[in-house]
Chain A
């Protein structure tokens, strides 16, 4: 019985997650994100890492549906946008403190996702993907018409909003640290799901849903839970992101590009892996930074995302991590 287990199935004992090296790798990533800009008060680095925390949060959560359960969610940005709207609205119209507004946004969006999920997750495969495109379009159209949320013009927060956090300069740091926390929670969530029975069920669904159901995986429930679970942290990230901007409008909140980028990131890093979503986000962010500063490429961002996605799907469907595991099979045990 030499076959050491790989992938989703870990050691025989009920080992706690903390005893495995990957737990500490995630902790180190979080610490690096928090400390790197704080040392020396580097605001420029902070702003660039802030975008990375959003990418990692979106990609990690998308990975739960796209990577584990094998369901394409073209509208994952809806969670981010609705979270942002709920949070900004509660603060601006009802004067809620940030923490309460954030929590309400996360809970409300997850609940909405559960309701959506129970409905549309009865649809299989391609039909589900179509419905998620529709959700994005419909929610954006709805919000653009929804007067309490400012319609197409959006919502503003007054600058006094940063006072409770110690003024604008300090507030930006607070929001950044909170986003790092949300990113860390996303990585741990992604890891915990993957190491659990729930995650095994999702991965079985992703491999062959009919077979999984016959084996006893309660697919409709699991899919709806996964969909709802993957909504919570992006909603928090959306709340923080738009709180920081002090402004939200439909075209920013439901920017389909961000949904697309999250998908490119997951595929680039390697779907169904925790590390892949993080490394993919980092690589993509670097690439994007280069493209945006390059005169020739800045207007071709969509073209390049698309071409990159196509090349990955055609030639490296396992992404970066799939490529690494192919050459170094034991890598699965260290980098989940």
Chain B
């Protein structure tokens, strides 16, 4: 019993980071109905951002987070103009292919630079003991930072003029355009935000687990599962879905080898999409 409870709490901590990654995916979908297949690459970029900044430039690990957020935001805006803007209004197939193509380029460059070796960023934080349970400090701090970022995103979306413009565009792009909102700028900004969130999630994951250039695919799949659970386009659902996935992983890890996780997650993903097309935790969209 001891093991299970600890694993479940740890699952919640890790799951919140999955939620953060999924937030990036779901934000982009919510605003422009685009599935961003550079998502996995953005997560990996966050991981290697941490690795480079911490190991080569010797910035303290957690101090890289703002840099990665800003960098991800700027890269995201560039990506929007390269791979999405020209294709808005064309069949959705085209944007899936173009973002997939960019993903290939990024992963290809990463593989050329670092191969597929396992990387690890040593982060020394004291672990926290609570009664008979011990939790890793990195996991706790990752969950705390996730909460902070999600809170900041909430404040931005609901209490700033720009955030309200983002929501207006998500709600009805044509009406927003008529109301004088520069929708194209809002779209590129949202894409930037989505990529920044994915990068930040990647950075936090890299403080907890080792990673390779190819890790993006697995974490991208996790984000799909999370958005399926929470309802695509639903920010609150993404966080709840992330925690739910962390719980499921923590729980399942007690009964079967970790290598089965992907199979379970995929089955869950398809089952949820088919049975609850709008997500188990689908709240009304903001």
Residues of A within 8 A of B (CB): 66, 70, 72, 74, 119-120, 122-123, 125-127, 129-131, 133-135, 137-138, 140-142, 144-145, 256, 260, 263, 267, 299-310, 313-314, 317
Contact = CB atoms under 8 A, between A and B. Distances in A.
A140 B105 CA distance: 23
Contact of B257 (A133, A140, A145, A301): A145
Contacts of A141: 259-263, 266
A310 B221 contact: no
B230 to A, nearest CB: 14
A72 B97 contact: yes
Contacts of B224: 130, 133-134
Given A123-B274, A145-B257, A310-B105, A317 B94 contact: yes
B264 to A, nearest CB: 9
Interface in B104-152: 104-109, 111-112
A130 B100 CA distance: 11
A123 B104 CA distance: 25
B105 A303 contact: yes
A300 to B, nearest CB: 6
Contacts of A137: 217-218, 221, 262, 266
A84 B219 CA distance: 28
A301 B262 CA distance: 27
The 7 lowest CB-CB distance pairs between A and B, nearest first, are A306-B104, A302-B108, A138-B266, A303-B108, A141-B262, A310-B101, A306-B105
Interface in B54-110: 82-83, 86-87, 90-94, 96-98, 100-109
A72 B270 contact: no
A122 B91 CA distance: 19
B74 to A, nearest CB: 20
A125 B108 contact: no
Contacts of B92: 125-126
B246 to A, nearest CB: 18
Contact of B221 (A70, A72, A133, A304): A133
A123 B108 contact: no
Nearest to A129: B96
Nearest to B257: A145
Given A129-B96, A137-B221, A313-B101, A123 B273 contact: yes
A131 B100 contact: no
B218 A313 contact: no
Nearest to A299: B112
A303 B112 contact: yes
Contacts of B102: 306, 310
Given A306-B101, A309-B97, 10 more contacts: A74-B100, A120-B274, A126-B35, A133-B217, A137-B217, A138-B265, A140-B262, A303-B109, A304-B108, A306-B108
Given A299-B112, A306-B105, A314 B87 contact: yes
A301 B111 CA distance: 10
B274 A302 contact: no
22 contacts: A125-B93, A126-B96, A130-B35, A130-B273, A131-B269, A134-B266, A145-B257, A260-B100, A260-B104, A263-B97, A300-B112, A301-B108, A306-B103, A306-B106, A306-B108, A309-B98, A310-B101, A313-B87, A313-B94, A313-B97, A313-B101, A317-B90
